[in-house]
Amino acid sequence: MTKGHAAELEIEPNDGGGRPPHAVVGSHRINEEMFGRAFDKSIVRRIWAFVRPYRARVVISSAALLIFVGMQLLIPLIIRRAIDHAITPAGVDRSALLRAAGAFALAILVNFGAAYAQETVVGKMADNVLFDIRRAMFAHLQKVSLSFMDKTEVGRLMSRLQGDVSSIHEFVETSVYSVGDIALLFGIVFVMLCLDFRLGFLTLSVLPALLIIRIVWLPRAREAFMAAHETNSVVNGALAEAIHGVRTVQCMDRQQINFMLYDDKAHADLSAHLTAAKYAQVMVPIVDGLTGLAMAIVIVAGGSMIMNGRIDVGVLVAYLFYIQRFFDPIRSLTLQYSVMQRAMASGKRLTDVLDVRIEVQDKPNARVLSPEMDGSVEFRNVTFGYKSGHPVLKNVSFRVMPSETVALVGPTGSGKSSAMALVHRFYDVQQGQVLVGGYDVRDLTQESLGREVAMVLQEPFLFTGTVFENIRYHKKEATWHNVIEAAKAVGAHDFIMSLADGYDTQLGERGGNLSLGQRQLVSFARALVADAKILVLDEATANIDSYTEMLIQKALSKLLKGRTGLIIAHRLATIRSADRIIVLQNGQVLETGNHDQLTALGGLYSKLYNLNYSSFDDIPEKKSDTGVQASSST
């Protein structure tokens, strides 16, 4: 994890339990949402890396922009020439007027073409950059180690993929125009001084007032923008939490209380945004007022100079046009300040994610695990923890033979799920080895390992799409026949056919239109279609009713036939038929053997079974007659 990210999250210490630590965001921990510096070279370089493939478009748009600026500077000069040379005391010089009209029409046409070209090219370039950043973010987040995901809020990652990327899009799109605004500003100053330096200096005399106003305005505006961004983050977080927890909210009748709490946050957000809007908008009338003042100065001084014959009428008219255009880029650049600040902050957050180190990676010479491997699993002196100095597994060793079904049991926090995560190499061990098919998982490609290890979790995750697509999610080449046979084998076919469109039924988010038992049966069918040599069942029957559990127990015999099975369970009744049972406690192997051997051994398993405990979590915290203290850590 990057250093910047570590500063954003408080990580709850792992007290030795078998679950990863959780991200804890304090009520005032909103540093991540704060603005960075108004301009950060390192962030701009990272953004430029995404723009570089489109540098030809940058050149084209810049050229079009310079042509556009040139036409903006040329049009007042054409008008000036028409006034001074086509309209004389002797009358109207038609040929000079026609030449001026032709030049004006040509300038307008070129101006339109240049503006259209820059708008089109810049827009497409910014859209492509937005697309590339999103692709890079998504691809990287698919590869980052679970140790990062364990400590990161999904909502904040979504914010980065959406809001922050959009801020970069806005910055890329407007930064080109900012260059044009700067070029136009200096071009107008240059032309005005060339036309008449006295009027030029009079026009520029209002700039010190603008500079003083900006010095006073910038820090206050920055503070207001920051406050608005922070309150917006708080409101969005509260909204997301309320939506995700709507069942709990309604169950506990918290609707009115939650609304009042949200209403307070929403009002604070409204107040902050109104303040920010006030600072954003105050510069517009100020700049307009300075424009009017500059025009008044030029009209009075210029009129006097015309009366004295020191300048022509056309020069004064051209000056008025230039003054009107002079403050436009100033107004635009003022608005660009907040855009740039947002982009620098968003760029920092995006690069923090893109720089997250992928801890679990294939070695350069990683071996492809063959489907013909024997399916054995072995732990050799494995020590592992999610946090340094807090091991979850401590010097654990055991071997699962090919086609053997082994159950891992133990109290919550004993390390069962952690051990199974190591088989799939979601994490790397700190010490020891985890071997699959006789090979250290660190020496195998993750893709080939994933093909041979199928997992069914306690809470099955189904994706938006059809039932058919979800069942063959692990194996896209599976046919309709494969899918239907797998569904029949695990007892899911009948309920699937009772759905509106059978296997073509569209599932909602996370399969919400199916019951938990139905989702679990679909996940079993998915595991069967995967046709992996090793099947891991992590509390797969923990949250389902007895009837569905009976169906799943029948499906298990078909699922495990010819496969190596690793079953994690709390309830003793679900694992009596396992070939071998490994009892874990406090991250260590306490007992091992089949059901009959363990009951005859007279140890923890036997005492729990004889005392009719249905689950390891029923163990009293201190049991004097067993002499065993169970872990109650989570």
Helices 207-244 and 313-354: crossing angle, nearest 10°? Answer: 30
pLDDT (mean) for 335-361: 73
> Distance between CA atoms of 312 and 306, rounded to whole angstroms?
6
Domain for residue 304, yes or no? yes
- Contacts for 363 with CB less than 8 Å, ≥ 6 apart: 442, 443
Residue 96 inside a domain? The answer is yes
pLDDT digits (tens, 9 = 90+) for 43-100: 788 888 888 888 888 888 888 888 998 998 898 888 888 887 777 666 667 787 888 8
Residue 544 lies in a domain: yes
287 part of a folded domain: yes
Q: What is the mean pLDDT of the chain?
A: 76
Domain harbouring 5, CATH code: 1.20.1560.10
pTM for the predicted model, two decimal places: 0.59
Stretch (H or E) spanning 159? helix 154-159
Could you read off the pLDDT of 459-482 as tens digits, one per residue? 777 787 888 888 888 777 888 888
Provide the pLDDT for residue 110. Answer: 92
**Domain membership flag for residue 21:** no
Percentage, residues of the chain above pLDDT 70: 78
Task: State the average pLDDT over residues 252-273.
Answer: 81
Counted domains in the chain? 3
**Closest by alpha carbon to 569, among 577, 559, 560?**
577
Instruction: Collect all residues with Cβ–Cβ distance below 8 Å to 84 and sequence separation of at least 6.
Output: 312, 313, 314, 315
DSSP state of 10: E
- Reported confidence tier of residue 544, pLDDT bands at 50, 70, 90: low
Q: pLDDT at residue 633 above 50?
A: no
Which pLDDT band holds residue 381 (cuts at 50, 70, 90)? Answer: very high
Higher pLDDT among residues 586 and 575, named by residue: 586
Is 324 domain-assigned? Answer: no
Distance CA 340, CA 181 (A): 15
Which structure tokens are listed for 598? 């363990």
Any idea what the CATH number is for the domain that residue 436 is in?
Answer: 3.40.50.300
d(CA 518, CA 510): 12
Q: SS3 for 287-323, per residue?
A: HHHHHHHHHHHHHHHHHHHHHCCCCCHHHHHHHHHHH
Whether residues 345 and 448 share a domain: the answer is no
Whether 10 and 113 map to the same domain: the answer is yes
Residues 547 and 483 reside in one and the same domain: yes
The pLDDT of residue 624 is 36
Residue 626 clears pLDDT 70, i.e. is over it: no
Q: Are residues 342 and 406 in the same domain?
A: no
Q: Do 1 and 56 fall within a single domain?
A: yes
Model pLDDT, residue 109? 93
Same domain assignment for residues 395 and 405: yes
Q: Which residues of 421-454 are buried (b: 16+ CB within 10 A; e: fewer)?
A: bbbbbbbebeebbbbbbebbbbebebebbbbbbb
pLDDT tens-place string over residues 263-307: 888 888 888 888 877 777 777 777 777 777 877 887 888 788 877
pLDDT, position 344:
76
Do 448 and 501 sit in the same domain of this protein?
yes
Is the domain of 350 the same as that of 449?
no
Confidence (pLDDT) at 106 = 92
Same domain, 218 and 242: yes
Give the residue, 328 or 384, on which the prediction is more confident: 384
Same structural domain for residues 162 and 101? yes
Both 244 and 300 in one domain: the answer is: yes
Task: Identify whether 306 is part of a domain.
Answer: yes
Structural domain span for residue 392: 377-618
Are 201 and 168 found together in one domain? no
Residue 627 lies inside a defined structural domain of this protein: no
